[in-house]
Amino acid sequence: MVRYGIVGDIEKNPEGLVHAVNTLRDKYHVDVLIGNGDLCDVMEDERDTYNNGALIWTAFIQSGLESYVIPGNHDNFSGFGRLNKNFALHNAVRPTAFEYGVYKISKGNHDLVFIPGSDFVVPHGYVFGIERESGIYLRKRDTFEPISQEDLEWLQKTWEHGGSSPQDFIFYTDLREISKVIDGKRPTIVFSHVPRKFEGLSDSVDSGHGIEVYRVNLGEKKHEDPELMKYFIEKVDYHIFDENLLRRLKLLGYLVMEDTGFVQSPEPNASRIILPSQFRKEVPIIGQNEASKTPFSSSEQGLQSIIDFAEYHSEGRNIVYVAVERKGGRGSEELKNEFEKAGVRIVVNGHFHHFCSHDEKGRSVMPGVVSDTLFINHGSFDDKSAVILEVHDDGEVSYERPII
């Protein structure tokens, strides 16, 4: 029997991980630690990103336990990649800047399969999908060009010596590899920061409730054809929903349409916006992460309604920010398809910051119940949430929720 202590989504409280790791080791007697993504917040200052991430790596190392880490959508090369290069985890599989793809580790009577990255394209980040083979790619507008490890090493030296990277690069994992590494002969536990998609469930591991912020440029036409989107629209941010969010936005002077969940910045020139999760400071948006901004195609569902709303409420502004409240299953359709092909039945996820556990049909699985099927979201460490997964001698699993 092996006990895995699993944490993730450590974006606000990396200082608390040392105590949590010691508790998992000494009180709950876990054998292995796993950091399941979002270990470095790329929205922070680069130095803070690295320093806060170093607290997390140090906590894992000082535990003396076997440790594994995978990147999520908040992790990129400047934080996660450099930390994995500079901090050697004890017996760890380390998806460094030069490692990508689905990978498998054999542990006694079962296998561990790790899927690094997410379906969010983050500059210098870790991305998965089915559009291309695993590898390192330069992103140039809407195209991705493969590059060699030698070229990336040059980019790395440029980065580490204080220069800015001349290109936006990503580390890509081909999800079609899942069926290649899982043969169905041994019990397999899959770790993926982003959940697969579930449909028709009132609560599931991929249930999200958040605010997506879009930037709509009404001053520059994209198409003359009235049947196509005639303006540029870009998603520039996402934040976990807070029950006080709409009330606070009103206090800040935002125009809020509660019946639709749309929120519009009242800023006259819309050159700055106060983000929902960062009420204490103004954050510049225009010019931030320009390399990551790509206009959505006209086939994207729902985007036209956002443009229509922005146009109706623009009051003459050329740039309008619209935030959309999103609810329901928001997992990866591609992961769903690949998991079903490979017969994946045990998966540990994070990303949506809420704990949930169920089987493939959405039926709740309670702590301590031994099962051969489990989809579980460990929740956010920032909310004091973690999971201990116990793999039994027959390969079935159960879980408990530690107090950390």
Q: Identify the three-state secondary structure at position 78.
A: helix
Residue 233 tokens read as 């629209």
- What is residue 164's predicted lDDT score, i.e. its pLDDT? 52
Q: Is the dihedral of CA 310, 315, 318, 321 positive or negative?
A: negative
Higher pLDDT, 377 or 87: 377
State the Cα–Cα distance between residues 143 and 131, nearest whole angstrom: 11
- Evaluate if residue 234 carries a pLDDT over 60: yes
**Nearest in space to 381 (alpha carbons), one of 19, 47, 119, 3:** 19
In tens, the pLDDT along 189-203 reads 999 999 999 988 878
Q: CB burial class (10 A; 0-12, 13-18, 19+) of residue 362?
A: middle
More confident residue, 306 or 196: 196
Q: Which of 148-157, 172-181, 256-265, 323-332 has the lowest mean pLDDT?
A: 256-265
Predicted confidence at residue 25, as pLDDT, reads 98
The residue length of the chain stands at 404
Asked whether the predicted pLDDT for residue 130 surpasses 70, the reply is: yes
pLDDT at 125 over 60: yes
Query: 301 CB contacts (<8 Å, ≥6 apart)?
Result: none
CA-nearest of 79, 156, 138 to 291 is 138
Q: What pLDDT was estimated at residue 94?
A: 52
Choice between 51 and 114, residue whose per-residue pLDDT is larger: 114
The two tokens of residue 66 are: 């076997």
CA pair distance 263, 255, nearest whole angstrom: 6
Examine the pLDDT at 224 and tell me if it is beyond 50: yes
- Partnered with residue 3 across adjacent β-strands are 390
What are the CA-CA distances from residue 140 to residues 143, 167, 168, 234 (Å)?
5, 8, 7, 17
Question: Which H helix or E strand runs over 231?
Answer: strand 231-240
Per-residue pLDDT at 80 exceeds 70: yes
Burial (CB count <10 Å: 0-12, 13-18, 19+), residue 210? buried
- What the block records as the tokens of 320 is 């309008």
What would the pLDDT profile of 256-290 be if each residue is shown by its tens digit? 544 344 455 444 443 333 333 333 233 333 323 33
Whether 370 has a pLDDT exceeding 80, the answer reads yes
Residues facing residue 328 across a β-bridge: 208
Backbone phi, then psi, for 256, in 5-degree steps? -120, 130
300 pLDDT more than 70: no
**Single-letter residue type at 17:** L
Q: CATH 3.60.21.10 spans which residues of the chain?
A: 2-205+330-400
Q: What is the pLDDT of residue 252?
A: 56
Average pLDDT over residues 367-380: 97
- Dist. CA 341–CA 214, nearest whole Å: 35
Query: Amino acid identity of 23?
Result: T
What is the model's pLDDT at position 318? Answer: 85
Contact predicate 193/296, CB 8 Å: no
DSSP structure class, residue 246: H
As separate numbers, helices (DSSP H) first and strands (DSSP E) second, the chain gives 8, 22
Q: What is the dihedral of CA 85, 88, 91, 94, to 10 degrees?
A: -20
Helix (H) or strand (E) holding 257: strand 255-257
As a whole number of angstroms, the longest Cα–Cα distance in the chain is: 67
- The answer to whether 109 touches 186, Cβ cutoff 8 Å, is yes
Going by pLDDT thresholds of 50, 70 and 90, the confidence category of residue 173 is: very high
Average of per-residue pLDDT values in the chain: 79
For the entire predicted model, the pTM comes to 0.76
For residue 385, give both structure tokens.
């949430």
pLDDT band of residue 251 (cuts 50, 70, 90) is: low
pLDDT score of 79: 77
Residue 248 has pLDDT above 80, yes or no: no
Phi-psi region of 259 (alpha: psi -120 to 50; beta: other; left: phi over 0): alpha
pLDDT > 90? residue 44: no
Q: Which residues contact 146 (CB under 8 A, 6 or more apart)?
A: 132, 135, 136, 137, 138
What is the Rg, in whole angstroms, of the alpha carbon atoms belonging to the chain?
A: 21
Residue pair 105/112 in contact by the 8 Å Cβ criterion = yes
Q: What is the pLDDT, as a whole number, of residue 168?
A: 76
Range in 69-73, 212-216, 237-241, 399-403 with the lowest mean pLDDT: 237-241
Residue 162 has a pLDDT of 55
Give the right CATH number for 2-205+330-400 from 3.30.413.10, 3.60.21.10, 3.30.950.10, 2.40.30.10.
Answer: 3.60.21.10
In the predicted model, is pLDDT for residue 361 greater than 60? yes
**Which residues does residue 358 pair with via DSSP β-bridges, in sequence order?**
364, 375
Cα–Cα distance, 350 to 9 (Å, whole number): 7
